[in-house]
């Protein structure tokens, strides 16, 4: 039985060889500041949403402290796991004015603006958090589903797991929508939103016709977009089954390009080494 996740699908789509090195070989990953930072922003906005839903709240400085404590805990966990000091963590957007790139200090300094961008967006839209049949709010909603459809005669069944960042209701012309929060430079994949929509329809009996991304480091958001056929289970099943079959058959074609620059395992990838020597 294959156990896949939305993040695995996106990693494989990004570069199948990276998936192999990370998930099958298990090579050490060189930590980067942006991963704990994004996770900590997810966490503090989750705390803000749950407080808002419960009719309570904290001061802005309290939420920023929540972010810093969680961010530093995640950074320390990466240091402990990798043995690599924080000063050697990878960062992005290095410039003459910001030689360290988007490092810990940048994220701490910018956390107030990033939090304000999220809370302002939420208050301006007037959207409400959707609630599932079992009373769970659409805030970091964790799921695991079976994908039973078989594309050939193999008996394996694929399990897909993930977490829906947000499910909102009250959008004129859209109804219920699934949203993913992004604190990098790239939005996700429509299959990601389609999976979220199909799962939420199953656990809530609420039709989800659209989805989008909140781009945390940019103004506004991306979407919502009508999902159409991408949220149909037959298409979702086919996509994850094909991912499962490709992994079973050992199909790991490397994908060259700018992806290599931000890859967590590029030091262990012979293809990335070749690219760097060619470009040098």
CB 63 within 8 A of CB 47: yes
pLDDT the model gives residue 277: 41
Mean pLDDT, residues 91-109 taken together: 89
For the chain, give the number of residues.
280
CB 168 within 8 A of CB 176: yes
pLDDT the model gives residue 188: 78
Mean pLDDT, residues 95-118 taken together: 92
pLDDT of residue 9 exceeding 90, the answer is no
pLDDT the model gives residue 87: 94
CA neighbours within 13 Å on the CB side: how many for 54? 11
Please give the model's pTM, rounded to 2 decimal places.
0.86
CB 212 within 8 A of CB 179: yes
Out of 29-33, 143-147, 189-193, 243-247, which region has the weakest mean confidence (pLDDT)?
143-147
Instruction: State how far the Cα of 101 lies from the Cα of 106, in Å rounded to an integer.
Output: 8
Q: Fill in the DSSP letter of residue 16.
A: H
Instruction: State how far the Cα of 88 lies from the Cα of 30, in Å rounded to an integer.
Output: 9
- Chain center to CA of 41: 12
pLDDT tier, 95 (very low <50, low <70, confident <90, very high otherwise):
confident
| Secondary structure (3-state) at 65 | helix
Nearest to 210 by CA among 184, 259, 176, 236: 176
| Secondary structure (3-state) at 211 | strand
| Secondary structure (3-state) at 144 | strand
Out of 71-75, 92-96, 208-212, which region has the weakest mean confidence (pLDDT)?
92-96
CB 167 within 8 A of CB 178: yes
The burial of 65, by beta-carbon neighbours within 10 Å (0-12 exposed, 13-18 middle, 19 or more buried), is given as middle
Instruction: State how far the Cα of 101 lies from the Cα of 96, in Å rounded to an integer.
Output: 9
Pairing of strands 222-226, 128-129: unpaired
pLDDT the model gives residue 275: 44
| Secondary structure (3-state) at 51 | helix
């Amino acid at each position: 039985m294959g156990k896949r996740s939305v993040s695995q699908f996106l990693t494989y789509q990004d570069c199948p060889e990276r998936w192999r090195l990370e998930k099958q070989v298990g090579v050490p990953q060189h930590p980067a500041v942006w991963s704990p930072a994004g996770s900590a922003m997810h966490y503090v906005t989750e705390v803000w949403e749950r407080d808002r839903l419960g009719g309570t709240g904290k001061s802005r400085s309290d939420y920023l402290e929540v972010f810093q404590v969680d961010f530093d805990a995640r950074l320390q966990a990466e240091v402990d796991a990798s043995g690599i000091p924080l000063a050697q963590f990878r960062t992005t957007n290095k410039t003459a004015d910001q030689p360290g790139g988007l490092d810990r200090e940048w994220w701490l300094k910018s956390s107030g603006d990033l939090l304000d961008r999220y809370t302002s967006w939420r208050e301006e839209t007037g959207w409400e958090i959707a609630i599932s049949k079992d009373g769970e709010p659409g805030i970091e909603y964790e799921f695991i589903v079976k994908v039973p459809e078989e594309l050939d005669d193999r008996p394996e069944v694929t399990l897909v797991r993930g977490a829906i960042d947000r499910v909102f209701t009250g959008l004129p012309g859209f109804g219920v929508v699934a949203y993913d929060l992004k604190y990098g430079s790239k939005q996700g994949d429509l299959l990601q939103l389609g999976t979220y929509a199909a799962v939420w329809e199953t656990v809530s009996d609420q039709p989800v016709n659209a989805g989008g991304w909140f781009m945390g480091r940019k103004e506004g958001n991306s979407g919502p977009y009508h999902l159409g056929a991408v949220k149909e289970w037959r298409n979702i099943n086919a996509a994850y089954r094909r991912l499962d079959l490709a992994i079973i058959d050992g199909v790991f074609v490397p994908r060259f390009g700018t992806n290599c620059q931000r890859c967590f395992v590029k030091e262990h990838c012979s293809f990335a080494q070749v690219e760097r020597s060619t470009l040098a």
